[in-house]
Copies of this chain bind each other. A is one copy, B any other.
C-alpha cells in the first residue's frame, strides 16, 4: 500500500497480538517450514511444553489459521496444516525474521547465522 499507516487500526491490533502471542509466531514459522505432526513441532521448538503447544494449536484452529486432520490409522495419525489464511502469514514471518537478523543477532554470530538460514 502506498498510503501512510493510520496511527491505529483494530484489525492490525488483533493481528499483531495474535501472531505475537506466547509461542504462536514460533509455531507458525515451524509450520511454514513444513512441520506437520505434533511430535515434529514439539521437537523443533526448544522449550515448548506439550501442553502449551496443544493450547496454541487449538487457538490457531479457532482463528482459522490451522486445520487439524485425524487419520484413522493405528496408531491414529494427526496432522496440522496451515490454511490459506495461515500460509498468508509467510510475509509477516519473513519480515520479522529479516528484522531479527538485521538487529538482534550479535555481529560476531551474523555470518554463521546467515549461512544457516
**A interface vs B, CB < 8 Å?**
1, 3-22, 24-26, 29-30, 32-35, 44-46, 85, 88-89, 91-105, 113, 116-117
Contacts and interface: CB of A to CB of B under 8 A. Distances in A.
A88 to B, nearest CB: 6
A101 B33 CA distance: 24
- For A7, A10, A19, the residue with the greatest tally of chain B CB atoms inside 10 Å of its CB is A7
Contacts of A35: 7
Nearest to A45: B8
Nearest to A31: B7
Contact of A96 (B16, B26, B116): B16
A72 to B, nearest CB: 28
20 contacts: A1-B98, A5-B97, A5-B117, A7-B29, A7-B33, A7-B34, A7-B45, A8-B44, A9-B100, A12-B29, A12-B93, A15-B99, A15-B100, A16-B19, A16-B29, A16-B93, A19-B96, A20-B25, A92-B99, A95-B96
